[in-house]
Amino acid sequence: MSVLEVRDLAIRFGGLQALQGLNLEVNEYEIVGLIGPNGAGKTTAFNCITGFYQPNTGSVSYRGRDVTKAPPHVKAAMGFGRTFQNVGMVKSATAIDNLKTAQHAKAGYDVLSGLVGTSLTSRRERELTAKADAILDLLGLQHIRDKRVGGQSYGTLKLLELGCALATDPDILLLDEPTSGMGPDESDELGDRLLTLRREFALTMLVIEHHVPLVLRVCDHVYVLNFGRLLAEGKPSVIQTHPEVVAAYLGGEAPEALEQTQETEEDAELDRLTGQAAQHHDNPSIAAPELVEPEPSGPARRRRAAAASAAAGSAEERLRPKKRAPRKRPATTEEDESA
């Protein structure tokens, strides 16, 4: 039985069809990627799955149970943990307070007990603080424990938000662009952390991410959205070279987009000749390239061949001044001769 199953999900905002017939499945202990160009509908899909939006049609199932109409707080209690594209924490509070706040559903005491300060409240507060400290240690954020969240970098905030999601004891974790605001090294480190979390906490994850190297490294299965529709799905190695996926990211028709990503032998030869011609231009002692007229295969390549041919011309010929045509003498008349 899959942990999360989405079937024929669709939602419309006025005249905009944001999602149409989306199907995806996340199995136990998998890390599944959801990628696509900006505006493809990825975050909208997350909002429908977690209950922030109610889809027009389709269903969302959690461990075989239909939870399509369940609100976000009910799904959070079931085991849904989520981060957001825009960080959603209390910016005026400290990191430790944000992590304790994220555990409010499991506090174990009511409002009155909290106001009075019973022994149960004190014991539970110590337990919540210990868990929050453990999460800070896990994510390497102990140095900002007592600092205001609002003064931290965006990458640090995204990492702390991941910690807040972990504090809810999720069964399935939905991460919306977790590496946003991070550099390449930080992104690689986060990828290692995600693999560690899956191994040590038996987590299942669905990840929206634009950092393709991270997706290829950590994901077991990848879904690709484009204009609200499922464009492709499969193993990361298959998605990486899928012509329609390449087209969605680069633009244009799929065959042309795929061809642009692969250098042909003719491209390599033209690059070599152009480079040799440039060296000959700078240093005439270097032999000029011997050009063979290629068969034309498109205006772009013809222009490149023409450029290489022009660059390979003799420097002396290019620098030699052009001969001027002799000036024609004006015609003379008999009157001019008698004068």
pLDDT digits (tens, 9 = 90+) for 171-213: 999 999 888 878 888 888 888 889 988 988 889 999 998 888 8
- pLDDT value at 237 more than 90: no
- pLDDT value at 322 more than 50: no
- pLDDT value at 323 more than 50: no
- pLDDT value at 303 more than 70: no
8 Å CB contact between 254 and 246: yes
Most confident segment among 44-58, 79-93, 268-282:
44-58
DSSP string, 159-202: HHHHHHHHHT--SEEEEESTTTT--HHHHHHHHHHHHHHHHHH-
Q: Name the DSSP letter for residue 26.
A: E
Delimit the domains of the chain by residue range: 4-87+170-235
CATH architecture for the domain at 4-87+170-235: 3-Layer(aba) Sandwich (3.40)
Q: What letter represents residue 30's amino acid?
A: E
pLDDT of residue 180: 82
8 Å CB contact between 245 and 224: yes
DSSP SS3 for 325 = coil
